[in-house]
Amino acid sequence: MRDSAKHQGLRNQLVDVLQRKGITDKNVLQAIKSIPRHLFLDSSFEDFAYQDTAFPIGAGQTISQPYTVAFQSQLLELSKDDKVLEIGTGSGYQTAVLFAMGARVFSVERQNELYKKTAQLLPKLGVRARHLTFGDGYKGLPNFAPFDSIIVTAGAPFIPQPLMAQLKIGGRLVIPVGEEVQIMTLLIRRSETQFEKHEFGDFRFVPMLGDKN
């Protein structure tokens, strides 16, 4: 689990790239600066870990490009101790970013292989999620609701109703919606029945799958 001065230097450069691309949230930038992304990747990709690119992580999934992670994290507008539901734990990198930003993270992964791997990795890196589970992200985690924020890290063909229901009033749901290309979508819950919707252009994610694998 090596994290060297060279890695830190590369992270500093990555943060510069993200700032140039419009990421301004100091919390997000600090988290990206502090988290050893190379430890979340297959060692054959380690040399490229701090490029602003997505990489495969097994089970047909990817670790999102740092800009995407930063952009979604920034849209959440997190405060310390916010209760966040993450749909798609994947490599655990986004989980680690949320944790470094002071969130209490509840995360669901539907690929058992990834779930097991990440559940072992995160504690070794000092990342203490409140709850990691192997399950169906479309259903969320009703037993732990309501959440201050919900972040979905896979492309959903539609916005799942259970996730909207598990968001507290005033809460923010960030989800990429669409089939081939997704539109980054932010829902803010204004009342029991009303949601305010904002859209932020095209992104590409692996598809969000139902049921457990």
Task: Give the integer Cα–Cα distance in Å for 25 and 175.
Answer: 19
Q: Report d(CA 55, CA 49) in Å as an integer.
A: 9
107 is catalytic: no
Using an 8 Å Cβ cutoff, are 139 and 145 in contact?
no
Residue 174 near residue 185 (C-beta atoms within 8 A): yes
Q: Which residues contact 120 (CB under 8 A, 6 or more apart)?
A: none
CA distances, 165 to each of 21, 31, 37, 145 (Å): 33, 29, 33, 9
Q: For 180-202, give the secondary structure using H, E and C.
A: CCEEEEEEEECCCCCEEEEEEEE
Cα separation, 7 vs 160, in Å, equals: 38
Active-site residue identified among 4, 34, 43, 64:
64
Phi, psi of 16 (to 5 degrees): -60, -45
- C-alpha of 171 from chain center: 16
Q: Which residues are catalytic?
A: 64
